[in-house]
Amino acid sequence: MPLMRATHCPVAQPVLAHAGLAGRRRNRLPRLESLAYSFTLPGEPHCAAAARAAIRSALEVHGLAPYADLAVLVATELIATAVRLTPDRELYLSLRHRTDALRLVLWDQHPRHADPDDVSLCAERRRGALWLLAASVDECGGEWGTAEAEPPQRGVKSWAVLPCRRLDAGGKRP
């Protein structure tokens, strides 16, 4: 197999150079607004490890490494609860940075209950299972919740919003 190497588009390079944009982004952290990652996970306990690694890596690249421990804890709790309540069904995890906050959202495929008592019991069970997430998010001044997913999604949507801003190399906000 021939060795492949990445190259820039030859047509775009002169245009970028003329605009003063060629090579500008080297050695700079990506924009926080570009922190937008989504994962489809298999809905099995081991998928939490893959999500943790991806989240930690994404936050490091975007200059948010100090927030990685909390973000991976939140993702782990969301995934573990979804896997426990809806085993072997795919999950969809979203990680975004918007308005100085990390936003983690997990959609699972939990079936809709017909009986209102079952709805209440299931929601209570889910919220009880997320006690560690609740304590951690409350401690940092964030917010979290669960709700039935709105169409076109189905199942349950669980989320956490974690306040944060990128820190400079000295651990201070720019």
- Answer whether residue 14 is part of any domain: no
- Answer whether residue 10 is part of any domain: no
Which pLDDT does position 159 carry in this prediction?
A: 95
Which pLDDT does position 28 carry in this prediction?
A: 73
- Answer whether residue 156 is part of any domain: yes
Structure confidence by residue, pLDDT tens digits, 111-133: 888 888 888 888 899 999 999 99
Residue that wins the pLDDT comparison between 44 and 26: 44
Map tokens 């970028």 to a residue.
16
Which pLDDT does position 29 carry in this prediction?
A: 75
Question: How many domains does the chain contain in total?
Answer: 1
User: Which H or E element spans position 161?
Assistant: strand 156-163
Which pLDDT does position 96 carry in this prediction?
A: 96
Mean pLDDT, residues 96-121: 90
Structure confidence by residue, pLDDT tens digits, 131-163: 999 999 999 999 999 988 887 778 999 999 999
DSSP string, 12-77: HHHHHHHTT-TTTTTTSPPPGGG-EEEEEE-SSTTHHHHHHHHHHHHHHHTT-GGGHHHHHHHHHH
- Answer whether residue 88 is part of any domain: yes
- Answer whether residue 120 is part of any domain: yes
User: Which H or E element spans position 121?
Assistant: helix 116-129
Tell me: pLDDT of 17 over 80. Answer: no
Structure confidence by residue, pLDDT tens digits, 45-83: 899 999 999 999 999 999 999 999 999 999 999 999 999
Which pLDDT does position 174 carry in this prediction?
A: 44
Question: What pTM did the predictor assign?
Answer: 0.78
Tell me: pLDDT of 6 over 90. Answer: no
User: Which H or E element spans position 107?
Assistant: strand 101-108
- Answer whether residue 98 is part of any domain: yes
Which pLDDT does position 173 carry in this prediction?
A: 46
CATH number, domain of 136, equals 3.30.565.10
- Answer whether residue 15 is part of any domain: no
Domain that includes residue 94, residue range: 39-163
- Answer whether residue 111 is part of any domain: yes
